[in-house]
Amino acid sequence: MKINKNDIPATMQAPDTTMRAQPNYGGMTVCFNEMPKGTDFTPLLQGLDHDSCHCPHWGYVIEGTMLVKYDDGSEEVLRAGDVFYLPSGHTAIVQEAIKFIEFSPTKEYNEVITHVGKKMAEMGS
């Protein structure tokens, strides 16, 4: 089974931002994301447990960099060429415009993305 990134439905589009997500892709949601420098998920996660993302993600960074902050206080930078696993309990800030693909459990992904959508609506985004 395969899917071209252009066939993954766009779930959010804004200047310099495209987020694509295909749910229930082998029990996971596959995403292809492109985001500009300065994108900060932290305010969008407020209100979730620990004000962080509880959905684990596995993926690959195609280009750019992103700072990931974990609930335990640790941090790491994801860079082009990195394969990653982000466990539950994190937030992220894009440091250089980024493109990455990720796979996430559909149930948890939907819980987080629904919350993010509500926060964006509250913020008038």
13 C-beta neighbours (distance < 10 Å), count = 11
Distances (CA, A) of 65 to 77, 105, 107, 124: 7, 23, 27, 27
* Per-residue model confidence (pLDDT) at position 12: 85
Q: Is the pLDDT of residue 7 over 80?
A: yes
Residue type at 72 in one-letter notation:
D
| Tokens matching residue 55 | 């959905």
For residues 53 and 89, the answer to whether their CB atoms sit within 8 Å is yes
Q: Is the pLDDT of residue 125 over 70?
A: no
Cβ-based neighbours of 36, under 8 Å, separated by 6 or more: 15, 16, 17, 94, 97
Residue range 21-50, pLDDT digits in tens: 999 999 899 999 999 999 999 999 999 999
* Per-residue model confidence (pLDDT) at position 25: 92
Q: Is 2.60.120.10 the CATH number for 5-116?
A: yes
CA distance 86 to 68: 8
* Per-residue model confidence (pLDDT) at position 121: 86
Residue range 70-118, pLDDT digits in tens: 999 999 999 999 999 999 999 999 999 999 999 999 999 999 999 998 9
> Shortest CA distance to 69 belongs to which of 41, 46, 99?
41
Helix (H) or strand (E) holding 87: none
Q: Is the pLDDT of residue 14 over 80?
A: yes
* Per-residue model confidence (pLDDT) at position 32: 97
Beta-bridged to residue 46, according to DSSP, are: 48
> Shortest CA distance to 53 belongs to which of 39, 63, 43?
43
